[in-house]
Structure formats: structure tokens, C-alpha cells
């Protein structure tokens, strides 16, 4: 039987959404083996861009994956294990793990997904989508998953089951939401420390932190693999740069809690210079040109979001300099500024 007999599937719709994130400091220190050897620290914040999932249970013995944005749809017979080749790899990976760990039998459903930002944009889109998909299954099947359980399972699906290179921060950011200082301990534990940042400091940061899409994308796996190889090879310059990025996360936390918002530009600039030492491909001539243009127009610091190589960049623009920075970037380059707000909530699920 492919319909789950614990629930009524008639006209049921299950939805979820999980927020994308800005990695403000410490990026890369959540990646093994660095985090295993030295421990890592990240400071990130979720924003008002989301990954959405809708599940519609079926009783026809079929599994349908749909992506309206990409104009793609795939139909399979409901089996316990789906081949993870081709499109909808993340959805298939989540389904396989849910069946393996929880239902122990096939399910029949249509699943539709959408993300507010393209893949390779540096906002944690893939991991956030995994959290959204897993959250929808958890809502549908009433799975006994707390926040830490769900984030950890999403990490295992992406990094272990599907063998996709990357760190741990994105799954926890999407699940918990808000501003978080995250510690990645040497015993493979993760501690999420929510930060109680005054609303006016959050509003000021959102006003001054300009988010710019370069109209390029990156393949994070190659850059991350470079960081991994450098740690394994005991590349002192790369490892020392990661130590500095871990310290950057502490400085960022202290500045946000104190309300010393204008110090964030210098902290970002420090981190950007150290980040480029961890592996090749993090920056390139276009990104360097964009960065220098922003600084010449009044920004005091910034970075590429995510692993690097393309996607979104963001810049700290004190006072009213964001308008001059936006004007300079839009006149010289083909990218675009993206409006956003910081969000307080992580994964949300509901049933109709």
C-alpha cells in the first residue's frame, strides 16, 4: 500500500518554507576536517527569501516531482528507493531517507518546490531546500524531529547520503532562523546560540548592508574541496586564515550585541581578505572589480556570500552611502540590488 495509513490523504495539502541566510562571519570553519580538528564558529542571519515546498498526498502509486520555475516534472512509480540521478536530486534524497528511517514503505505524493534565489547564488539555497522538503515530510507524517534533529538529518542527507561537499551552517540556519552564533565542536556536536540583538540594531544593519547579485553563479563544491585539501595537506597559510575567520565570528557577535554597527564594515573587510587565503577560486577579476567599486563609492567592507566564486555579494555602507554604492554598481555592472529584511523565524510548516 503506497498511501500512509496513519493519515487522511483526501484533499490534504502540506506546505513548508525555510529562510535563506547571509553568512556574516566565520565562513568555512564549519567544514570538515577543519571543524573536526580545531572546532569552528559561524555567525549568520536569515533573511526574507525562502525555499518553499508543497506536498499533496496521492493514492495512485505514483511520485511526482515538480518545479514550476524550471518547467520540469518527473513521474516515478512509488518504490522504497529512488535513483538520485538526474533532476530533483535533493527531493529524492530526502524521500529515500524518510522511507529508510521512518515509514519503511513507499509513499505516493506530488511534491512542488520553489526557491526565491537561483542555485549557486551563495545564500545556502540547496541546504535550505533540503530543510524545507524534510520539514514538509515531518509535518505530513508527524515525524518526531526537534530542531536539532531535523537540521542534523538534513545535513546527513546532503553531505553523507548524496555526497555533496559543504559545511554544516546552512541546515541549522534554515531550521532555527534569526541571528545565530554557531559553534561546531571537535566531537561533531553543533551548538546554536541565538543572539538577542536589539531591533533597532537589526534595522540599522539591514539598511546599511547592501545585497548585490552579480548575475553569476558558483560551484561551491570545487572551492570547498580546495579548503578541505589545504587542511589535509597542513597548509599553514590556509589553516591560519581559517583561525582568523573563527575569530572574526567572535568580533562580529560582540559588535552586534553592543550595537557597534559601523564596526561591521571593517570586520567584513578583514574576513574577506582572510577568506581568499583559504583556497583558490574564492574571488576573480570581476568580483575584485565589484568589491573595489563598492569601496570607492563609500562601502567600508563586504564579502561574497557563501563559498565564493560568484553569486551574491554584500557590502556594509555606513550613513547614507548605500545609495552611492548602489548607483556605482548599477552603472558599471549588469547585476542588481536585492531588497530583503532579517527574519526571526526558521522553518515553518502547516497543513490544509
Chunked in runs of 10, what are the mean pLDDT values of the chain (352 residues)? 48 95 96 94 98 97 94 96 94 98 98 93 95 98 98 97 93 98 93 97 97 84 87 94 97 97 98 94 94 98 90 97 98 95 97 96
Query: 186 with 220, same domain?
Result: no
Structural domain including 93 reads 14-196
Query: 207 with 163, same domain?
Result: no
Instruction: Single out the catalytic residue among 170, 187, 203, 266.
Output: 170
Q: Which residue has the cell 557563501?
A: 306
CA dihedral defined by 331, 272, 196, 179, rounded to 10 degrees? 70
Query: 93 with 157, same domain?
Result: yes
Query: 111 with 245, same domain?
Result: no
Q: Tell me the CB-side half-sphere exposure of residue 331, using CA atoms within 13 A.
A: 9
CATH number at residue 117: 3.30.230.10
pLDDT at 143: 97
Domain boundary among 174, 196, 218: 196
CATH number at residue 308: 3.30.70.890
pLDDT (tens digit per residue) in 60-92: 999 999 999 889 999 999 999 999 988 999 999
pLDDT at 2: 42
Q: Confirm whether pTM is higher than 0.85.
A: yes
170 an active-site residue? Answer: yes
Residues belonging to the chain: 352
**Distance separating alpha carbons of residues 347 and 21, to the nearest angstrom:** 12
pLDDT at 297: 98
Strand partners, 194: 180
Query: 112 with 212, same domain?
Result: no
Query: 222 with 291, same domain?
Result: yes
Query: 135 with 231, same domain?
Result: no
Query: 325 with 217, same domain?
Result: yes
Query: 321 with 281, same domain?
Result: yes
pLDDT (tens digit per residue) in 137-167: 999 999 999 999 999 999 999 999 999 988 9
Query: 42 with 125, same domain?
Result: yes
Query: 151 with 76, same domain?
Result: yes
Strand partners, 189: none
Amino acid at each position: 500500500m503506497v498511501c500512509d495509513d496513519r493519515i487522511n490523504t483526501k484533499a490534504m495539502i502540506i506546505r513548508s518554507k525555510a529562510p535563506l541566510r547571509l553568512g556574516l562571519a566565520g565562513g568555512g570553519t564549519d567544514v570538515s576536517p577543519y571543524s573536526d580538528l580545531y572546532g569552528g564558529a559561524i555567525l549568520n542571519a536569515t533573511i526574507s527569501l525562502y525555499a518553499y515546498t508543497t506536498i499533496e498526498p496521492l493514492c495512485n502509486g505514483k511520485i511526482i516531482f515538480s518545479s514550476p520555475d524550471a518547467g520540469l516534472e518527473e513521474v516515478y512509480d512509488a518504490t522504497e528507493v529512488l535513483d538520485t540521478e538526474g533532476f530533483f536530486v535533493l527531493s529524492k534524497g530526502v524521500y529515500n531517507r524518510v522511507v529508510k528511517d521512518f515509514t519503511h514503505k513507499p509513499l505516493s505524493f506530488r511534491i512542488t518546490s520553489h526557491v526565491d534565489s537561483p542555485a549557486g547564488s551563495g545564500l545556502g539555497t540547496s541546504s535550505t531546500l533540503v530543510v524545507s522538503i524534510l520539514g514538509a515530510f515531518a509535518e505530513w507524517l508527524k515525524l518526531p524531529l526537534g530542531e536539532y534533529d531535523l537540521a542534523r538529518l538534513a545535513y546527513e542527507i546532503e553531505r553523507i547520503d548524496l555526497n555533496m561537499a559543504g559545511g554544516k551552517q546552512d541546515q541549522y540556519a534554515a531550521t532555527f532562523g534569526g541571528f545565530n552564533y554557531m559553534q561546531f565542536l571537535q566531537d561533531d556536536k553543533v551548538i546554536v546560540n541565538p543572539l538577542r540583538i536589539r531591533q533597532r540594531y537589526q534595522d540599522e544593519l539591514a539598511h546599511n548592508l547592501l545585497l548585490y547579485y552579480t548575475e553569476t553563479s558558483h560551484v561551491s563544491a570545487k572551492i570547498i574541496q580546495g579548503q578541505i585539501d589545504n587542511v589535509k595537506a597542513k597548509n599553514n597559510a590556509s589553516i591560519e586564515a581559517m583561525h582568523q575567520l573563527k575569530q572574526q565570528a567572535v568580533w562580529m557577535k560582540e559588535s552586534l550585541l553592543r550595537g557597534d554597527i559601523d564596526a561591521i564594515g571593517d570586520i567584513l573587510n578583514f574576513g574577506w581578505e582572510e577568506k581568499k587565503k583559504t583556497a583558490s577560486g574564492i574571488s576573480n577579476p570581476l568580483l575584485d572589480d565589484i568589491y573595489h567599486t563598492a569601496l570607492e563609492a563609500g562601502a567600508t567592507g563586504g564579502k561574497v556570500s557563501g563559498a565564493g566564486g560568484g553569486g551574491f555579494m554584500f557590502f556594509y555602507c555606513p550613513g547614507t552611502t548605500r545609495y552611492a554604492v548602489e548607483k556605482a554598481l548599477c552603472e558599471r555592472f549588469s547585476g542588481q540590488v536585492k531588497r530583503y529584511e532579517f527574519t526571526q523565524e526558521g522553518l515553518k510548516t502547516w497543513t490544509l
